[in-house]
Amino acid sequence: MIDLRSDTVTKPSDAMRAAMAAAAVGDDVYGEDPTVNALEARTADILGKEAAVFVPTGTMSNQIGIRIHTQPGDLALVEGSAHIVANEGGGAAAISGVSIRPLRGVRGVFTPDDVDAAVGVAHPYKPTTLSPPPRLLCVENTHNAGGGTLWPLDTLLAVCEAGRLHGLSLHLDGARLWHAAAASGLSERQLAEPFDTVNVCFSKGLGAPVGSALAGSRGLIGRARRFKQQLGGGMRQAGVLAAAALFALEHHRSELGDDIRRAKRLAEGLAALAGVDIDPADVQSNIVRFSVTAGTAADFAERCHGAGVHMIPGGARGVRAVLHRDISDSDVTTALAAIEAAWSRIPASA
Ligand X SMILES: Cc1ncc(COP(=O)(O)O)c(C=O)c1O
Q: Does 108 bind ligand X (CB under 6 A)?
A: no
Which residue minimizes CB distance to ligand X? 58
As measured in angstroms, the least distance from the Cβ of 173 to ligand X is 5
Q: Does 83 bind ligand X (CB under 6 A)?
A: yes
Cβ closest to ligand X, residue 46 vs residue 206 = 206
Q: Report the alpha-carbon distance of residue 120 to residue 143 in Å, rounded.
A: 25
Q: Report the alpha-carbon distance of residue 222 to residue 159 in Å, rounded.
A: 27
Q: Report the alpha-carbon distance of residue 96 to residue 108 in Å, rounded.
A: 24
Convert residues 182-201 into a mask of x (bound to ligand X by CB under 6 A) and - (unbound): -------------------x
Q: Does 269 bind ligand X (CB under 6 A)?
A: no
Cβ closest to ligand X, residue 179 vs residue 253 = 179
Q: Report the alpha-carbon distance of residue 305 to residue 2 in Å, rounded.
A: 9
Binds ligand X (CB under 6 A): choice among 40, 74, 140, 188: 140
Cβ closest to ligand X, residue 58 vs residue 313 = 58
Cβ closest to ligand X, residue 58 vs residue 233 = 58
Q: Does 59 bind ligand X (CB under 6 A)?
A: yes
Q: Does 3 bind ligand X (CB under 6 A)?
A: no
> Burial code of 252-278, b = ≥16 C-beta within 10 A, e = fewer?
bbeebebbbebbbbbbebbeebebbeb
Cβ closest to ligand X, residue 211 vs residue 269 = 211
Q: Does 144 bind ligand X (CB under 6 A)?
A: yes
How many amino acids of this chain bind ligand X (CB under 6 A)? 13
Using CB under 6 A, which residues numbered 158 to 187 contact ligand X? Answer: 173, 175
As measured in angstroms, the least distance from the Cβ of 274 to ligand X is 31
Cβ closest to ligand X, residue 144 vs residue 197 = 144
170 residue type, one letter: L
As measured in angstroms, the least distance from the Cβ of 84 to ligand X is 7
Convert residues 13-52 into a mask of x (bound to ligand X by CB under 6 A) and - (unbound): ----------------------------------------
Q: Taking contact as CB under 6 A, which single stretch among the options 34-42, 54-62, 254-262, 298-306 is the one that binds ligand X?
A: 54-62
Cβ closest to ligand X, residue 43 vs residue 203 = 203
Q: Does 237 bind ligand X (CB under 6 A)?
A: no
As measured in angstroms, the least distance from the Cβ of 19 to ligand X is 20
Query: What does the binding site for ligand X look like in residue numbers (CB under 6 A)?
Result: 57-59, 62, 83, 140, 144, 173, 175, 201, 203-204, 212
